Amino acid sequence: MKNIVIPVDFSEHSRTAAKTGAYLARKTYARIHLLHVVYGPENWNQLTVENRQKHPDVEARIVEAGMKLDKLSQGPALQGLNVVTQVKTGIPHERIVSFALATNADLIVMGAHGAGDSEPVYIGSTTQRVIRAASSPVLSVKTRFDPASVKRILFASDFEENVSDALDFITELAVAMNTSIDLAFVNTPGHFVDSETIEQRMRQAQPDKPGVVIDHFVYNHYEKDRGIIEAARKRDAGVIAMITHDRKRKPPYSFGITESVLFLADAGVISVIVKK
């Protein structure tokens, strides 16, 4: 990894994201981009002073965010790392996606609310929209996530499509975090696959990476999302990795499997998008 983008809204979730990004940057020598997006005119930098003065609240939030980002970048969690801070204006999820693309981000790390939070605002949230639209992998974490404690990454898939690019990235992440990988398939009544077939798919998908322990795991459950979560718990996986298809045009209330897993799971969830 060379560039890690961390969107920050100064919540506890985003502070955990910053600590997670810092942990990965120390392992990979990546540059960290701390990004805060102020909701306002996207062309703020092109506005005249007179027009900016029509939005004093936006100007005040930009100044405040800049000071907070500077303080965060100089804190103990990010000390000694190559950190760049950026304050942008616009619609948060759109600016995050475009910023990650402009900086050639190898990974976006961001906080996410979920079912266990006091204010479950995940549906329609910025995280959900970024997961759907970003071309970079997105690692979403909750406040209790500790990257140093992760010993196993569970990669959940049906292995029917080409997962080689996604697995190459997950394998690199496993090397950086010094973890093993489980290739996991959740068998459901509506999408049952016999053991021989799924084992063959897993063998074909398994990357040739010496030094990384890769196991195969099949778990039976009535529901795909809850089966993935239970499989991760059974295998003591600290991160669940999944492929996400382009869902930009889907309404926010229409959950995909990745979004449902993120909402319900305690583990970190990393999504690698595959465009149709």
Per-residue confidence at 249, pLDDT binned at 50, 70, 90?
low
* Residue 39 or 4, more confident: 4
* Exposed / middle / buried, residue 196 (Cβ in 10 Å: 0-12, 13-18, 19+): exposed
- 104-119 tens-digit pLDDT: 999 999 998 744 454 5
245 closest CA partner among 237, 256, 254: 256
| Spatial separation of the C-alpha atoms in residues 10 and 16, rounded to whole Å | 10
CA–CA gap between residue 184 and residue 202 (Å, rounded)? 9
Residue 223: burial class (beta carbons within 10 Å; 0-12, 13-18, 19+): middle
Q: Residue 46: which pLDDT band, with cuts at 50, 70 and 90?
A: low
Structure confidence at residue 124 as a pLDDT band (50, 70, 90) = very low
Q: Is the pTM of this model over 0.85?
A: yes
- Span 141-152, mean pLDDT? 94
Domain ranges of the chain: 3-141, 147-274
Mean pLDDT of the chain: 88
Say what the pLDDT of residue 108 is: 97
Q: Which CATH architecture has domain 3-141?
A: 3-Layer(aba) Sandwich (3.40)
Condensed to tens digits (0 to 9), the pLDDT of residues 190-222 reads 889 999 999 999 999 998 888 899 999 999 999
pLDDT of the residue at 255: 57
- pLDDT at site 245: 72
Does position 120 have pLDDT exceeding 80, yes or no? Answer: no
Q: Is the pLDDT of residue 186 over 50?
A: yes
Question: Between 250 and 187, whose confidence is greater?
Answer: 187
Provide, rounded to the nearest whole percent, the portion of the chain with pLDDT above 90.
65
Q: 164 pLDDT exceeds 80?
A: yes
CB atoms within 10 A of CB 118: 5
Contact call for residues 184 and 202 (beta carbons, < 8 A): no
pLDDT, position 147 = 95
Q: Do domains 3-141 and 147-274 have the same CATH topology?
A: yes
**Mean pLDDT, residues 251-272:** 80
CATH superfamily assigned to domain 147-274? HUPs (3.40.50.620)
